[in-house]
Structure 1
């Protein structure tokens, strides 16, 4: 297990951070594809269209080819939500991390191992928190595939929690999709509670629909121990 350290983001990290962020987001495509395949509407589509071709043309070969091209189309569509999110982020907050996070009353950390950035996470204050609370939101938690299983993700989340507590925030909130099961498991293991979810619609409105889950970690007012 290679040693690592958690430190604040520096400008020299930008290329590695952006590359890891982009690759990390695209790693969710296979899970999204499997999720889409199991949706009732998808199963219906994969059954009805080839059956219609057989009934109209009498050709099973055309039906098989149709299934192949439908699967290929679905695989391409499963990429779209993540491609769009990466493109949007690279034009907004990830374009200038120092300005978007460090200069905006938030922070951004990287995990470094052997002079390589192997993990990242950011946080920003929530502009209009409910009930007049003071909330910090966690963004872009990611660890490179070669360095998972070493506790880096937990260490990055703890950095956010410690920063938020030290700054007097009452809660840390975040959002993640149902597709990101490893992230959900991590957050729940660290004490985050589900506070709601909403349906995220992407690309083909009647086909690709998945839920985004809201999580919150609240600091007890009398909490004194270290995270």
Structure 2
């Protein structure tokens, strides 16, 4: 287990984790944006496999053939439906990125480093930012609990498989212990199966789920709530 007194820097051989600096801003936004965009094709594939989507892709073109007698129109209809579904799968992730870039990630120092009890780290390798994670206090925790929320864990695909994501989570866990938090909480989605598996393997457990919008409910993609209760609490 990592042990940080100042929570500023820790080495892991091929990379090291340190506290965010303003000069990292552009790199952090790039890692975050590319990480979120990775979920678009997964969301599209998930939507395609839904029974209601398959029914739509088969039923509408078939109706077109029965009405018009044209297989060309039916093929054009299928193509148009696929394009529409792809746009629908893309839009929520694009909106989430835009929201974050205009709120907490617009000024990371102000959002995460200006007060005690919150922090933001980057993982660096070869002078490049290859991972990121932040945490903020939960504003209205359950009675008697002091909770910290893990946010924006991201590691580019070419740097995965080195234990980097796990090291970033451990850094947040140690920070939570040092700051006297009783729980570390987070939310993710069923689309992010790699992240879900990582958290569960580290001792988090599911506490609930909800749909972020009507679109997520329609395509059956719930947001999963996870929690890690700190042994020292």
TM beyond 0.5: yes
How has the CA–CA distance of structure 1 residues 197 and 43 changed in structure 2, closer, same or farther, with 3 Å as cutoff? same
In structure 2, which of residues 7, 11, 20 is the aligned counterpart of residue 9 of structure 1?
A: 20
State the Cα distance separating 1:205 from its structure 2 match: 7.1
What TM-score, normalized to structure 2? 0.91
**TM-score normalised according to structure 1 size:** 0.93
Which deviations, in whole Å up to 9, do the C-alpha atoms of 1:144-165 show, x marking residues without a partner? Answer: 1110100100000000000001
- Which residue does the alignment assign to 1:193? 205
Whether the aligned pair in 2 keeps the contact of 1:201 and 1:210 (CA below 8 Å) is no
Q: Which of 187, 191, 205 in structure 2 is aligned with 1:179?
A: 191
Q: Is the 8 A contact 1:137 1:172 kept in 2?
A: yes
Q: What are the within-5 Å matches in structure 2 for residues 93-108 of structure 1? A: 93-104=104-115, 105-108=117-120
Does residue 56 (structure 1) correspond to residue 98 (structure 2)? The answer is no
Q: Deviations over 1:101-147 (max 9, x none)?
A: 11143000000000000000000000100123000000000001110
- Mark the runs of 5 or more structure 2 residues left unpaired by the alignment: 1-11
Give 2:54's aligned residue: 43
Secondary structure of the residue aligned to 2:80 is: helix
Distance in 2, matches of 1:85 and 1:136, equals: 21
> 1:72 aligns to what?
83
Q: Which runs of 5+ in 1 are unaligned?
A: 223-227
Query: After the TM superposition, which of the residue ranges 42-51 and 155-164 deviates more from structure 2?
Result: 42-51
Give the aligned length.
221
CA RMSD of aligned residues (A): 1.6
User: Which residue, 102, 123, 127 being the options, matches 2:139?
Assistant: 127
Q: 2:45 is matched with which residue?
A: 34
2:160 aligned partner: 148
